[in-house]
Structure 1
Amino acid sequence: MDFKRFSLLIATRTILAMLTLIFLTQAMMSDGYHATVMLLIAVLLIQFFEIIRFISKTNAELVRFFEAVRHADFSQRFELKSVGSGFDELGSTFTDILKRIQNVRSNQEAELRHIKAIIEHVPVPLLSIDHNGKITLWNNSVRRLFGTNVVTHIDDMAKFNENFPKKLQSILAGERTLVHITIDDMEHKLIISATEITTATQQETLLSMQDIQSELARAQLQAWQDLVSVLTHEIMNSITPVASLAKTAVDLVQDVQEKTQTLPAITEETKEELSEELDDVLGAVKTVARRSDGLMQFVTSYRRLTRLPSPNKKTTSVAT
């Protein structure tokens, strides 16, 4: 409807200009109409100027719309009612198109920020290498792995292991390999997995580097704790009856000593010899009992050390 109105207005202005041109031709062919000729020439010029201005306004709005789309300037608004061309709906359509493009762009940017946030919090270090050897560090994990070392090109990896760059370049998509590197005098064992990523402009290799050194240390510590737990259990099982029997033996020897002192048929010399022998036996048994108790206390204390209780957290004022 608006386009038909636009065509009608163009046709009307063109017809009026042609009529003016016809009248001007007639006036110029007749004598004595000099003032009329000048007036018709002025009217004709005004009509041509109006036709050019009428078309240029619409074209200017079209150019402004395409420029806004090209430069992503979504603040532009198109009110073609002021143009007078009957393109009100076209102006509203331009504005609506820009709003839709803005919404799509905003949604894409929100999704991109969401993906970046997820990648940043992935615990596995991620980096990519393009065909020129340029390295991009994608998350905090990989930046923490390399620390203060500047890593922008694959040749920079040689500072951690002289064969590290070659291994990174030789790994194929879908492969996994174990690499030993040293960063800031600390050894790291990395399991590296590779994936090929192809975009519209380039092809690059995405590498995930899982540091298993801490996992191995944690597993080794857990194994030692399990071993200590088993050893303490077995030692306690062996020492407990020895300590119990030693204490029982002490009681028996002391009881025999008391009975030998009350026997009338034994001479004093025999009593003294028997008492000395029982004292020796009692001393030996007490030594066994004492050492057994000490060993049990050591094992008990060590067991408590390997099974530390949960910390008792409380607020402490540090104000002076």
Structure 2
Amino acid sequence: MASRNFYYQVILRVLIIVLTALAFAFAIVKLWYFTIIFSTIFLVMQVHYLIRFINSTNRKISYFFDAIRNEDFTLRFPEKVSIKSFKELNQSLNRVNSVIQEIHLEMQVREKYYQEILKQASIGIMTINEKGHILFANPTLEKMLNHSPLNHIKQIEQIDENLYEIFKALQPFERKLFQLTNEREQIQLALKSTSLTLNAESLMLVVVQDINAELDEKETESWVRLIRVLTHEIMNTITPITSITDSIIKYYTKNGEIVALKDLDDSKIKNTLKGLEVIKEQGGNLMEFVQSYRSLLSVPEPNRTIVKGKVFLGKIDVLMSARLEEEQTNFSVSCHPDNLEFFIDEKQLTQVLINLSKNALQSVRGIENGQVQMRAGIEKDGRKYIEVKDNGPGIPPDLIEEIFVPFFTTKNEGTGIGLSLSKQVMQLHGGSLKVRSVPYEETIFRLNFA
């Protein structure tokens, strides 16, 4: 409405100017000097008032936007004016000003709310620009690094030079682990970065978390699992020995006294020999179990060399060929690209892949169209991998966290340390061993190399 009245005012004033100009022209033709002078003065006045009218409106709008830009919402335009168009324009500008003020206050409240959340967060959060200036660092991070305030990443060099090097070289979407030792304690930090753009400025958001509690919890959980398995295995071995020993003792004692040789019959002597054989067998099993435990604790450091992936997997294929004839299973090996190379201990990784392949072949035993695939390749981020995939019954969800626990096994044969050793070998290589299982579709053991 205000703009419409403004247009009406402008059109009316322009029409008056046009009529005055026509009167001025007519007076010149008729040589009406008085009319010429009067129309000239009137024409100049109308042009002056038109310019003043337009400029006053422009100045109001300019003042309005300057005030908004400077976050000054105290500017109010008078609404009690004689010109209706000005009154409606001033009312519209005041309404817009009030709406923007409400939005601004709401944004301020929301910003304070988010800032308070960041301050109270249990993880460290910071934003860094391209020049290394720290635009924001919450109190948790300052407490973690024992340094306040944090204004530039160069300050981290005073805390720990190695940590500073990590921050300086940190790229978006990277994850790093670092053990920080200070005067108070030793903490394990996990750093995760991501990129963002704010006001056309490229920033990097870094989240720093103290994972000591999580590591302690995982360590305790691992010990509980290990003790549970060890207890189970040892009790399975000791229980028959205890039972048979008790039975043999009863053959040779009666009422607390030793039975005379003449009172012993052949059946008791034969049962004694059988019992001793069982005790010997169980003792041998226990010794084998202990030897397996020793082998788990004495995995040597890998002697790594550069190995061509295609040749390496070809050797595994040959080693598994005899078992393939027995199992009648489709086993395939592939490596892409053909020139893929690994920096590994070939002997250790050979044992790992043979173990994984045997497990896969056992899982598809008796399954129609059973398939085992071994593939090597490179991820999009440049990380190399080797995976063993089968379409067997898979691993139940409740056991998938247990399979890497030493001595845990769901099979009747075996010691249950194969996967534990394989995982330890990959950790010594700076990589990891992961598993994903969808029953009767795919079970994948993947060796990820750093």
TM range (shorter): 0.5 to 0.7
Q: Aligned partner of 1:64: which letter?
A: Y
Does structure 1 residue 190 correspond to structure 2 residue 188?
yes
Letter aligned with residue 14 of structure 1? V
Could you say which residue in structure 2 is the equivalent of 1:89? 88
Relative to the length of structure 2, the TM-score reads 0.41
Residue pair 1:188, 1:211 contacting (<8 A) in 2 also: no
Kindly state the Cα deviation for residue 110 of structure 1 after the two structures are TM-superposed: 0.7
Closer, same or farther: CA 4–44 of 1 in aligned 2, 3 Å: same
Q: Give, in whole Å, the separation in 1 of the partners of 2:172 and 2:21.
A: 79
Read off the aligned partner of 2:153 and give its amino acid letter.
Answer: I
Larger Rg: 1
Change in Cα spacing, 1:137 to 1:179, as seen in structure 2 (3 Å) is farther
Match of 2:38 in 1: 39
**Is the alpha carbon distance of 1:171 and 1:202 closer, same or farther for their aligned partners in structure 2, counting shifts above 3 Å?**
closer
- Once the two structures are superposed, the pairs formed by residues 193-204 of structure 1 within 5 Å of their partners are 193-200=191-198, 201-204=201-204
AA at the equivalent of 1:117: E
Partner of 1:68: 67
What aligned pairs does 1:1-320 form with structure 2 within 5 A after superposition? 2-30=2-30, 33-79=32-78, 82=81, 84=83, 86-136=85-135, 138-147=137-146, 151-168=150-167, 169-170=169-170, 173=173, 175=175, 177-182=177-182, 185-200=183-198, 201-210=201-210, 212=212
How far, CA to CA, are the matches of 1:71 and 1:126 in structure 2?
30
- Bigger drift between 144-153 and 38-47 goes to 144-153
SS of alignment partner, residue 160 of structure 2: coil
Q: Output the CA distance in 2 between the equivalents of 1:167 and 1:193.
A: 9
Counterpart Cα distance in 2 of 1:171 and 1:30: 86
Percent identical residues: 19
CA RMSD of aligned residues (A): 3.4
- Opposite residue 61 of structure 2, the aligned amino acid is L
- In the alignment, the residues of structure 1 paired with residue 13 and residue 46 of structure 2 have an alpha-carbon distance, to the nearest angstrom, of 7
Distance 1:172 1:41, change over 3 A: closer
Offset at residue 176 of structure 1 (A): 5.4
Distance 2:15 2:123 in 1: 76
Measure, in 2, the Cα distance between the counterparts of 1:126 and 1:73. Answer: 32
Query: 5+ unaligned residues in a row in structure 1: which ranges?
Result: 221-320
Alpha-carbon distance, 1:80 to partner: 6.2
CA displacement 1:172-192 (0-9 Å, x = unmatched): 73635241322xx33421322
The gaps in structure 2 that reach 5 residues or longer are 221-450
Count how many residue pairs are aligned between Structure 1 and Structure 2.
214
More helix by share: 1
In 2: Cα distance, 1:212 partner to 1:133 partner = 28
- Relative to structure 1, the CA distance from residue 175 to residue 27 in structure 2 (aligned partners, 3 Å threshold; closer, same or farther) is closer
TM-score, normalised by the number of residues in structure 1: 0.55
Indicate the residue corresponding to 1:227 in structure 2. none
**Residues 1:83 and 1:60: Cα distance change in structure 2 (over 3 Å):** farther
Deviations 1:253-292 (A, max 9, x none): xxxxxxxxxxxxxxxxxxxxxxxxxxxxxxxxxxxxxxxx
Instruction: Give the distance between the partners of 1:21 and 1:146, measured in 2 at CA.
Output: 80
| Contact in 2 for aligned 1:6/1:86 (Cα 8 Å) | yes
